[in-house]
Structure 1
């Protein structure tokens, strides 16, 4: 039975104010107490108290603001910033063939990264967590870090995952269904660990480091072996009631259509995921089937008709599905992040044309669209950003417990 209580639910009103202040400082980089009070619509006294607790916990520090005018007199304005030296956090992405580890300081500045090969693309949950532990050990050894210096681990997996509770309903990387990862983390990892859907972590990365900076409402669509989506609404990740929301890849685009890796038929990713393109372009090739998307792109450029048709169809299907997102969410921006070889411009344009044709027409511009190729490090950076947020909640809660003692 999955746990219903979450880290956020465990915080009282005073602790929530501390968390909101910390997040405000983190987003701003450097900010004064007065500006925090304005941003949070809170009293200066409340903000001063919250920031005092954060300073005592070592999560933030005072810094003098740089003077922009050499004629200014008096003491420089005191600003607050996250104390990057306070803690280190590891962000980990489980891909099909490797585990990617990125270690950052508490500001999110990368300390270093490590790539660890996986023995299999799908394995038992406990074996996977043990492989994650080995990858973390290897990363720390490579970077000259003690494991004690890592205050938290955030792990990204594909699939139906409740990021608030650490419960996995299904993942293409795990053999079992319905696994509570928290006991496995407690058994095998040396510090608090947090599980999250990998597309949500890309949304986190875009929010803090990429096209989502400064935006309150945007979408991130990831396309690799499967298709994922992260939704940021009013500056927060949207997960759904069971943590299984935003499963864009499993939106049905064809009644009783192609078989998806989730076991159902007609899912979007059964037409645009890497495995779907390889399957469809290999029809009739018998033992000479394509092994990768690069093979299909090369064949299409060499004039292979079927490969070209498969790529064009996938681009149009994706464009129509993206139009549905615009019609549903009306976001400020959509990031389409592809972990795959760069498509020819004609295929990208076919996707964008289908998106425009199928979006409800109003007298307003479409949301901004960013199409980028995505490396695994972006996932790991998003995981690290998520880890900083979760570790900060734990530290704030621990500080609250000290105050109450």
Structure 2
């Protein structure tokens, strides 16, 4: 193990420098050293290697110490947007959303395909994902050979390290090595990731957590997901396992175990109303939440009570998460927010009652109705971070698969 430690430290330091350039660039070597607490010698060696590999660019700025006089221009560093291109995707029960980005995470093309994914066999889903990736690439005026990595974000229990989907509401089958299947089809390294992790990284790079390296994401959609970032890194379980918040136990007897999904999952909230009539058609077309919100606005609708109970259960779960981890911010995302104030008010009240008074001011709750494109862009960020962490050599990035 000791012989590997220097290489591990070099990889960590390289990632740190790249991330500082991404977040603060254009930035000087001295500023990188100050912000990262790495020596100027270490920063100089790393940035020289990154320049050789074409991952960063230099920009010369005038002497800002004395604007009235001429001076030697400062050399600033920034990411090279053309260093890599990746495709990220959000796979949901009723749509596929794709985003192609450059090395900075800026979206170059995007595509949405409305389709009942959860009604299809895995072979057809794979066909649609492959076609969507290829179409998104063509729309950007590129070809497959121009793409470095693909990342597919989907709900359920996912092993990031192996690419296996243990279970997902959009798949009829279990224990599917979806990364292996799509890598074979596309001829590109393909990562499969929890959609909660994808939207967490989207917020870390571009959204409500740009100023933080520690925060929690709670995603409320067809499934309930959880993502935790600590020191800027995604916390995963054994084998890179994602966390399915819906499996959290609220109570148990000798005869029954009550899980959060049974109260706060969209299927539980909609109840029997989703089985018949106009509501059933709205759910089938992916418009269930919009229809539910309209019904909640009417008096004496049972959906109001279901939304209140769901909010109470989620608020209790978030209070437990904050009690365990003490994050400064909890960002709540997902289509369930479409239920409106009856749900979010119930959640906040439940949270306030459950959180211990000693830490009641620790965490800020933020509600964010992130767009589908943000989720897909987040999957692209997962792919970019894999490239950041790859062993770069003088000939460029090494394949991680």
TM-score, normalised relative to structure 1:
0.87
Q: Using a 3 Å threshold, how does the CA distance of structure 1 residues 94 and 61 change in structure 2: closer, same or farther? A: same
2:371 to 343, 357, 375: 375
Output the aligned Cα RMSD.
Answer: 2.9
2:259 to 267, 271, 280: 267
Question: How many angstroms apart in 1 are the aligned matches of 2:91 and 2:312?
Answer: 29
Question: Paired residues, what number?
Answer: 388
Question: How many angstroms apart in 1 are the aligned matches of 2:254 and 2:144?
Answer: 48
Secondary structure (helix, strand or coil) at the match of 1:183 reads helix
Q: Do the aligned partners of 2:307 and 2:342 also contact (CA within 8 Å) in 1?
A: no
- Corresponding residue for 1:4? none
Q: Do the aligned partners of 1:11 and 1:397 also contact (CA within 8 Å) in 2?
A: no
User: Deviation of residue 139 (structure 1)?
Assistant: 1.4
- Corresponding residue for 1:180? 177
1:223 to 220, 224, 227: 220
1:338 to 320, 326, 334: 334
- Corresponding residue for 1:205? 202
Secondary structure (helix, strand or coil) at the match of 2:352 reads helix
Q: Cα deviation per residue 1:254-308 (whole Å; 9 max; x = unaligned)?
A: 32699xxxxx9522122112111112556xx866765423333222211134222
Secondary structure (helix, strand or coil) at the match of 1:242 reads helix
- Corresponding residue for 2:93? 96
Note if 1:276 corresponds to 2:268.
yes
TM-score, normalised relative to structure 2:
0.87
Q: Cα deviation per residue 1:122-161 (whole Å; 9 max; x = unaligned)?
A: 5454543332111011112223222222221111011111
- Corresponding residue for 1:357? 353
Question: How many angstroms apart in 2 are the aligned matches of 1:106 and 1:194?
Answer: 17
- Corresponding residue for 1:113? 110
Name which of structure 1's ranges 83-92 and 58-67 shifts more when overlaid on structure 2.
Answer: 58-67
Note if 1:25 corresponds to 2:17.
no
Structure 2: state its 5+ residue gaps.
none
- Corresponding residue for 2:317? 321
Higher helix share: 2
Structure 1: state its 5+ residue gaps.
1-7, 259-263
Name which of structure 1's ranges 236-245 and 108-117 shifts more when overlaid on structure 2.
Answer: 236-245
Q: Using a 3 Å threshold, how does the CA distance of structure 1 residues 272 and 72 change in structure 2: closer, same or farther? A: farther
Q: Do the aligned partners of 2:214 and 2:231 also contact (CA within 8 Å) in 1?
A: yes
Question: How many angstroms apart in 1 are the aligned matches of 2:107 and 2:295?
Answer: 39
